[in-house]
């Protein structure tokens, strides 16, 4: 899994604090890079901001439901 990470600078109009935006997940690095290219072009006008592609993994584990509390009730 991949995601695009965009560090956006502060701006005065509208008043926005610096913040990080994450887009994804994407199945290939190329798709995340496509979003990076978009943001680099967008931020070029402001001559600010930083971007990168990050890779991550998903760990699957068995789902074990929690025991229900109380002894009465349930399905009829």
Q: The whole model's pTM is what?
A: 0.61
Domain borders along the chain are: 2-55
Q: How do residues 15-27 score in pLDDT, each as one tens digit?
A: 888 889 899 989 9
Q: How do residues 35-70 score in pLDDT, each as one tens digit?
A: 989 888 888 766 667 788 878 877 767 677 787 666
Neighbours of 8 (CB within 10 A): 19
Burial class (CB in 10 A: 0-12, 13-18, 19+), 6: buried
């Amino acid at each position: 899994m991949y995601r695009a990470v965009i560090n956006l600078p502060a701006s005065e109009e509208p008043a926005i604090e610096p913040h990080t935006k994450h887009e994804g997940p994407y199945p290939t690095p190329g798709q995340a890079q496509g979003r990076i290219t978009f943001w680099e072009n967008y931020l070029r006008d402001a001559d600010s901001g930083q971007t990168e592609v990050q890779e991550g993994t998903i760990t699957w584990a068995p789902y074990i439901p929690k025991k229900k509390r109380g002894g009465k009730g349930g399905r009829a």
